[in-house]
Chains A and B, each alone.
Chain A
């Protein structure tokens, strides 16, 4: 039994301690917004926050989560949309949408630390999140928008 806090709620999960947090969230808590993509921390689809830091839940065993605060895509906003989600809506970022929970969690973590990231800082924070539909240009624009930067900021081509 592992006790942790998920989206502000205390939960006890009865699963083997080597179970990745991703599968505990999905199969035990039925929080299906966090996605499985690679199982090796290579694609970022499973990104959640642990005590405010972005982590890859596919490669984080439940044993490492005891007593920690976990935030998932379902937990980033309690009343409607987070500013990052609003920016995502404004730019119609998602295509297939499968990687977008992870993209958004990485973007939220970035903006929590860096109010106005540059393109290079966005690259550094977001390059661990793979999108096969190729939404990167809109992800970048939406992050700038959410950061309060004018959207048609001159992008270094």
Chain B
């Protein structure tokens, strides 16, 4: 690689460079000043993420860098901005809860920046090696933040569980990659697609493809690789869970879309049936397993499993409309999830004790009407009730599935979303019709801002959905 090529590649990757160099600088600031620098480091970390996001929006060109290992296109930019928004919001929400959850350590924002860096590199990965390295960078940082409250048994258990299962999934991913490399002779996505198209798909490639899908489905917590999700969501400190549920899911879904619609496009019949199965299983399990949950964080875990299933419906369609649907779905999912977690973080009794049970929301409509209205909007939206945002997300993916003649998938999806509506509505019922047990403490302004904005987003999506949809369509244009 000549110097000009290297500089061209570096120019493409400026947003990532901002985060990487910035994270190192923040680490230095933190190390030299100790934990009293936490608020400075957090502020600077948010500034870094915003700077990277602005650069992507304003000055990021199209192109492939580092010998094809890194790709910048409209899809990558859209998903990266989404992931950055998720990270920024999660980090801001963590500030208020930092002390009670023992997150007031300067390493926490640094690790979140590094995880975000991993997510962005993953979204831009165009090569099996860069995909794996970015995935590990992201996962490793997340394992640590899941266990960061090391004096809490549940947090360490969550971190360990996440780590062990994550390592298992990485092993499967690597095994699949080695098979694909062995049978196609390449690690670049474009070259793999060419090799499969030229030589036809061999059995080795199909097995490798299934293993790669397995590894990626672990990361988006789709059935049957979802086992870690409820325990990790429940055990990890709530601000960490909010982060886990938003940006990494966007990144993993993005790379899943890119892998199947770029590298494995010639083997569409093979991955389509796998994605259809995973999508069906996730939707059904997400709907039925959530019914019995009492803890709202566990409920959100099953809800996210189900939502990944719905998003995969769009991917299963394997068309431009399908990928557009996935992008819109992930956007809406992320906004709803962040808003709901902002409400969960606001569930703190006056005595300072945080509560996580659904019953603790009883009578919220009397004690905190604003939060109750917003959470109700979010719950209706998660259930997919028109005219809220969640409905449009589901509408686009199911429409794409019907256009691709996947009628059964769409029908079962709609039925399972009816089942899912039950437990979302139960939360609403508890808030509005049950007797209040106690009041929550005053909600901090940043949390109010987050759930206010996301509640507003789902309510007025009918009017702002047009630009979001056309941006998503432009992003999906990268593949078709």
Whether chains A and B associate is no
